[in-house]
Structure 1
């Protein structure tokens, strides 16, 4: 993804900051479709992706994925809250075990 991002330094409104080049290589590794309505769609779809930033902007991966419509599960600012609540309520123990297994 090649989409310029404005810096977020907290001192000025983001709209006043210059847009800087930002590139992230995004590759889908796997995906799953669950027969559960979480939001307005009849099924919930999730993907495991590999994201490699080619430039170094603050929150670049989070912001690029969000821009493409791929919010990160568990990301309070750039994610999607309905999915952030759904997964732990349904698979909380399994998610915690996976985090422990992978050292996350």
Structure 2
């Protein structure tokens, strides 16, 4: 396996560009998986790493680690208090508004195994996502009763950190993310597999801006899109019936 792409490293922190399909750490959800970002990065840099946040397994992009538990605690506080900025890139079904805020509370997602003892009747939690549309695509591919298929490329900024927030919020407004096998549209996912060879969730954690817990300088980390994501966007753009240039693949 190729080494993990390191985006930033100093004596306190290290950040990688997590590939789609890689779990952050060992999970009861998939007992048979043997590859985890925590272990791979530990072996790659030769020291323990501590994740102050998570990315869903199918999501790619910026994943930050601390190099000792105290730094991890300070970073976790920033994530918990939303004292940082995150941007994601997603391709979704349909034409979205130019910009909008999704303010829709979400009930906590509990795992049947790991959260078996947790209260099952917790009230929904505040969840807010802001987005702006970067591009629109209309493809000459039949979709249901329509002769064409429409999609939007969005920049997403979650203002809260609920589990699967972006995927659930986009489903809520009827613009599910392409490739989402849990909250998405199965027919659209199949269309992208057949037409573009897309086997992944088209959601990428593009940037993470936060205050360095030691030197107090604001860091802005950016993860380039994986080649398979770029190839899908380029294929979609080349088949677009609308006028416009795509300039987000670098």
> Which interval holds the TM-score relative to the shorter structure?
0.7 to 0.9
**Unpaired segments ≥5 residues, structure 1:** none
Does structure 1 residue 21 correspond to structure 2 residue 122?
A: no
- Give TM-score, length-normalised by structure 1: 0.82
- Write the distance in 2 (CA, Å) between the matches of 1:34 and 1:88: 15
> CA offsets, 1:30-74, max 9 Å, x none?
010112212232220011101111001000000000100111111
Alignment of 1:28-67 (within 5 A): 28-67=133-172
Secondary structure of the corresponding residue to residue 27 of structure 1: strand
2:77 matched residue in structure 1: none
1:8 matched residue in structure 2: 109
Residues 42-51 or 32-41, more deviating = 32-41
2:229 matched residue in structure 1: 99
Offset at 1:100? 6.5
2:221 matched residue in structure 1: none
Alignment of 1:59-78 (within 5 A): 59-78=164-183
Distance 1:13-1:90 versus aligned 2 partners, 3 A rule: farther
- Write the distance in 2 (CA, Å) between the matches of 1:76 and 1:13: 27
Note the aligned Cα RMSD (angstroms): 2.7
Offset at 1:97? 4.7
Higher relative helix content: 1
Secondary structure of the corresponding residue to residue 156 of structure 2: strand
Secondary structure of the corresponding residue to residue 103 of structure 2: coil
Distance 1:13-1:91 versus aligned 2 partners, 3 A rule: farther
